[in-house]
Amino acid sequence: MDCLFCKIVAGDIPADVVYQDEHVFAFRDIDPKAPNHILIIPKRHIATLNDLQEEDCVLVGRLQFTAQKLAQELGFAEDGYRVVMNCNENGGQTVYHIHMHLLGGRAMSWPPG
């Protein structure tokens, strides 16, 4: 599988891993857009949000719950944070293995650009 994030999960490409369990993997973004910028992904390859099946609902919930846990652990949960999932070209997706961006440690504006 020629997928950057699958290679990171496999350990073939190094990453600053902050969490993993049976289903979920989380690591720091190489080009952080906030003091804390973590990518939370399923270990299993799913290319885009459009490829989700109903049986993936629990998995997506695990991504979201991992974001909350990491925000608590890293100390910015109470101040606040943002989670973002980009889909396809107009959404700004550049890596085609779904990932939740967890951004914390600064105030963010709305709407995004």
Q: Which residues bind Zn ion (CB under 5 A)?
A: 3, 5-6, 45, 97
Quote the tokens at residue 99.
């990932």
Q: What does the alpha-carbon distance between residue 81 and residue 25 come to, in Å, rounded to a whole number?
A: 19
Residue 93 interacts with ligand 5GP (CB under 6 A)?
A: yes
Task: Find which of ligand 5GP, Zn ion, none residue 48 binds, CB within 5 to 8 Å per kind.
Answer: none
Quote the tokens at residue 29.
């973004």
Task: Find which of ligand 5GP, Zn ion, none residue 30 binds, CB within 5 to 8 Å per kind.
Answer: ligand 5GP
Nearest to 82 by CA among 98, 68, 96: 68
- What amino acid occupies position 29? D
Active site residue 101: no
How near is the Cβ of 3 to Zn ion at its closest, in Å?
A: 3
Quote the tokens at residue 30.
């190489």
Would you tell me which residues interact with ligand 5GP (CB under 6 A)? 4, 15, 27, 29-31, 39, 86, 92-95
